[in-house]
Amino acid sequence: MSSLFSLAGRRALVTGSSQGIGFALARGLAEHGAAVVLNGRDPGKIEVAAAQLSAAGHRVATAIFDVTSADAVRNGIEAIEGEGPIDILINNAGMQFRTPLEDFPADRWEQLLTTNVSSVFYVGQAVARHMIPRGRGKIINIASVQSELARPGIAPYTATKGAVKNLTRGMCADWAKHGLQVNAIAPGYFKTPLNQALVDNPDFSGWLEKRTPAARWGNVEELIGAAVFLSSEASSFVNGHTLYVDGGITTCL
């Protein structure tokens, strides 16, 4: 039965994987047998992350390119595929910006759209063009509880994560017939560098603990099981699905 979840012989690209959720997922896939390719824009951060995985005995490579540039993505994916097939893609790169909607700067709106939505399209399309002729492949997009919920001060972020959820459905509708499984993981509130200011805010943490049935923040390691499931043969008939890993917060609308 354990072979259902084995990733031995598979190669995974994880975008935005120098820290936080992306790095945790890359490490988790490597621990289950996958060779991983770390991606980011900062060579220094990516090399530090790669060194940590290498020191643990994992097979790791790096790919430095900007996922918000269609040309950079196309060239980056071609270079990776030149070294071997991408069997698993995790579209994790993303950003957040918090301010009241009436004051939200137009340039930040555009930046959020490009980083959180366009990158998923660019990388997903570039990788799928190689997966389709092979007749197999796993694509996992990182959505959010904000794909389902809303909170003051992050309306544009909420819009982008709702788009990721529906883009996942659209990718499934187009590519399932070619043997691809395209799904999303929607994390709840996790302790990451992106959320550190909220973690350190006692008022927000207190609100979150009351709002979440599990009554706590999530730890990034708790996302690994979902990623391994959706990357493995165990999910061979799961497609177009968004898996919420949120401590139950979306059950209390």
- Which residues does the annotation mark as catalytic? 157
Distance CA 32, CA 55 (A): 16
The letter for the amino acid at 143 is A
CA–CA distance from 164 to each of 129, 156, 158, 196 (Å)?
Answer: 19, 13, 10, 23
Indicate the DSSP class of residue 233: G
CB atoms within 10 A of CB 147: 21
Write out the two tokens for 157.
């972020």
CA–CA distance from 101 to each of 109, 153, 158 (Å)?
Answer: 10, 6, 11
Distance CA 15, CA 25 (A): 10
Distance CA 232, CA 224 (A): 12
Distance CA 16, CA 31 (A): 19
Distance CA 45, CA 194 (A): 15
The letter for the amino acid at 160 is T
Decide: 63 and 36 in contact? Cβ < 8 Å.
no
